[in-house]
Amino acid sequence: MVKPASRTFQIDRLVLIEAVLEAAGVTFTDGEEPGVILREVGGMTGNQAHKARKALGWSLAGLSRLSEIPASVLRRFEETGYMAASTRLEDKRERVGRIQSLLEAAGIKFV
């Protein structure tokens, strides 16, 4: 007969699984809509976008107008690296690409 794992062991395993998933880019949420957010792989980061925008002297509202992306979405991307949770992965990649293209066209070089 197999003895069930202790509650402490089960919790320890869940903590380990959570740590592994976070290392792989998963962020667990506990806001109004519990779930997870997957980190984008590749492309420009939110921090890079913020620094590039500031280097150009552009306002968040100005980049929002140029990119046709809501300022609230841009702010969240710059602060956290994530696009709105309701945005499909393809749309997220397209939006990040659009922001990066605008910044590069204005003279920013990402390395």
Report CA dihedral (93, 98, 104, 108) to the nearest 10 degrees. Answer: -70
Mean pLDDT split into 10-residue runs, the chain, 111 residues? 72 81 68 60 82 95 94 91 67 87 92 73
- For residue 37, report the phi and psi dihedrals to the nearest 5 degrees: -120, 130
> What is the token pair recorded at 55?
């280097």
Residue entry with tokens 């992965």: 89
What's the pLDDT at 84?
Answer: 66
What's the pLDDT at 41?
Answer: 46
What's the pLDDT at 88?
Answer: 66
Quick one: 55 and 24 in the same domain? no
| Chain Cα centroid distance, residue 90 | 13
Quick one: 96 and 48 in the same domain? yes
Quick one: 21 and 53 in the same domain? no
Residue entry with tokens 């592994």: 20
3-class SS shares of the chain: helix, strand, coil, % to 5: 55, 5, 35
Q: What's the burial of 106, exposed, middle or buried (CB within 10 Å: 0-12/13-18/19+)? A: middle
Quick one: 101 and 47 in the same domain? yes
Number of structural domains found in the chain:
2
Quick one: 61 and 16 in the same domain? no
How many Cα atoms sit within 13 Å of 36 on the Cβ side? 10
Domain that holds residue 85: 43-111
* Whole-model pTM over 0.85: no
